[in-house]
Chains A and B, each alone.
Chain A
Amino acid sequence: MKRSAERQFWMASALALLWLMPVYAIAVSALSPEADLLAWPKSWLPAALSWETLRFFVQVAGVWDAVINSAIVAALTMVFSIALGAPAGYSLARFHFKGQNLFRMLIVMTRAFPLAILSLPLVTRFISVGLYDTHLGVALVHTALALPFSILVSSSLFMGIPRELEEASWTLGCGKIRSFARIVLPLALPGLAATMIFAFVVSWNEVFAASVLTLNQRTLTAFLFASLEESPLHFRLAGGFFLTVPSLVFIFAVRKYLFSMWGISDK
């Protein structure tokens, strides 16, 4: 038994190493001097670390405003997608009602339709109601993108929480709302954290809606993307890395939430 656990551990480590390869590649490329990037055969370790290109991004005019815009939009997206998604997920998990599959379809459809094609009617409408070029407007569209995930994940979570637990607490005199808050919510928390992380990441990395729906209030990705796509390779690499780091840090910071509940039913 013990030996097999060790073996699992080494398997996991090997898989993790493989998984990190591309991350290593992009990090090294972003930090290598330009000549190293183009060398053949490639060397496995960077000969020298160069912060030059990365530093360039930090002092690009307007970058910090864009970072703040991104953070605001991502935060709004997180809140909206939980506020809308968790109740809907609970409803899907706990109730039989007509049109349930129709509702599932509706949710999934939002991810099945390329957003860029919708943009023209969306922008026109946003201009007419005053949502154009606002954080709220972008966050609403990002919420539509994150919502399928948050509804489906939370519904499968609530489905996994034994109904008896909830019902038992009612008989013990808890009100329905209180039993939801005391019993169901804590169990669902890691999953809900996962949906929040996902909402954040979707919003942070989304380019298209953020580009067409904003002009002066650009998010970081939208701000840099049009420029990056056409920039020389070392800028693209460093820029790609620069855009990525905040979301990696964010996932790292909240990973505890996501996984600390492991094996909860032991307790």
Chain B
Amino acid sequence: MRAFIFGAAFLFLLTAGAAAQTTVVSTQLRPIEEAQKMRTVLLKGAADPVRFIPEDPNTYQTRMQAELAAAKGEVHATIALEGELEPLDAIGGLSDVDDVIAQLSTSREFSAGSLALAKMGGRAFRFVPFLTNTYIMVANKKALPYLPKGADIDRLTWVQLIEWSKNLRQATGSAKFGLPAGPKGLLHRFFQGYLYPDYTGGLVRTFRTPDAERLWTDLKELWRYTNSRSTAYSFMEEPLRTGDVWIAFDHTARLLPALRERPGEFVAFPVPAGPKGRYYMPILAGLAIPKNTPDRGAAVRLIDHLTRPDIQALALREVGFFPAVRADVGRLSPGIRVAADAVSKTFGAGDGRAAKIPVGLGARNGEFNKVFIDTFQRIIVRNEPIPAVLNRQADALREVMREAGAPCWAPDESSGGRPCPVE
């Protein structure tokens, strides 16, 4: 009996990995519908059969680090955000793709902004830009009558948003604003890309300035009109659909299911602005080739396919991510159009400025985010005094920056090559 089982197990060993498929591991397009669209629509005409493996970002890091330590890997190419590729690059895991970009640029035009990010602060291209996105706000149309007088929904300020949420609270008796502050939510981006730049004009340098204190005072006010279940929300499309939340901030992809299901019920608009300006955080997903890819040629053919203008347009129509190359997107479905309008208003706002996604932190990325989440926990959830918390968390932030040795990024003023200081 045992011999039989070991024999059988041995057979499995032999059959594993026999198929000549291109394997791509991705932290993007994970939701089941999107993954299915990726497999059956976007990858349909690819040169080789492709196995698309969506992976949770945390598991992704573990797997890729182990993969990269092997002599010959099994992953041909990988799709991930800049910030997720960075720890892999930091251990020397990504192969240069200068040649790929040069070859592809003869037949398509990558956006200049995304190409600049694809070098990850170094000399050579570390990945090929794949798709872009950003954060937006979505509101239930029932909330529109309560907009403060004179407010333009596409050019809101945080003060107006607070007033709007307060009006809703008074009218409905419950808190209708919502934030993705759950365990898998993207709340840290709310601070890093929006509140901090908007209120203080910086992020690390200005972490505990008087402007920052004002930020937290205002957020405390907003929190009074925020659904307290927010600390469990990870994807805002859900409470929007149930009607527990009428106004929400989140990543476009995490709002899209609600818009797609009921495009007539919601409006989408850019994230509000603060005293120091109207900032937004552009997000770039890249296609990278691991150093130990089993077949670089297959990886390049896959990248070629996925960055073709027609496939990029298809990506917008099917999964709501925006092209990284010049493409004619054609007709959009109503839900995607609502989101796409808000995204193009965000990118196109005359006074809009980009707050870069944190760079140069390598393996300290997670602890960097934790500083902001912890600050939120202390000030908002546990109601600790603002200045004391900011002082303590500033120490933690300084420690992270020191360990990572990361210089400042926009909107913080440059610190040359030295770690970005907390002032």
Binding site for B on A (CB under 8 A): 34, 38, 40, 56, 60-62, 72, 76, 79, 83, 116, 119-120, 123-124, 127-128, 130-136, 139, 208, 211-212, 215-218, 224-233, 235, 239
Contacts and interface: CB of A to CB of B under 8 A. Distances in A.
Q: Provide the main secondary structure of the chain A interface.
A: helix
A56 to B, nearest CB: 8
Interface of B: 2, 5, 9, 12-13, 16-17, 19, 21, 23, 25, 30-33, 35-36, 39-40, 51, 53-56, 59, 62-63, 65-67, 69-70, 74-75, 184, 235, 237-238, 241-243, 254, 257, 261
Contacts of A229: 30, 56, 184
A232 B257 contact: yes
A120 B12 contact: no
Contact of A212 (B5, B21, B62, B69): B62
A133 B74 contact: yes
* The 5 residue pairs across chains A and B that have the minimum distance between CB atoms: A123-B66, A227-B32, A136-B9, A232-B257, A231-B31
A120 B13 CA distance: 21
Given A123-B63, A233-B241, 6 more contacts: A34-B261, A61-B40, A136-B13, A139-B9, A229-B56, A232-B235
Given A76-B9, A124-B69, A229-B56, A212 B32 contact: no
A226 B69 contact: no
Contacts of B13: 130-131, 134, 136
A38 B242 contact: yes
Contact of A123 (B2, B31, B55, B62): B62
Contact of A120 (B17, B65, B254): B65
A38 B66 CA distance: 42
Nearest to A218: B53
Given A134-B16, A233-B238, A61 B36 contact: yes
B21 A216 contact: yes
Contact of A232 (B21, B56, B238): B238
A74 B13 CA distance: 16
A212 B9 CA distance: 19
Contact of A208 (B9, B59, B69, B242): B59
30 contacts: A38-B241, A56-B32, A61-B39, A61-B40, A62-B39, A62-B51, A72-B12, A124-B66, A127-B66, A127-B70, A131-B13, A132-B70, A135-B12, A136-B13, A211-B55, A211-B56, A211-B59, A212-B62, A215-B23, A215-B25, A216-B21, A216-B51, A217-B12, A226-B30, A226-B56, A230-B31, A230-B184, A230-B235, A232-B261, A235-B33
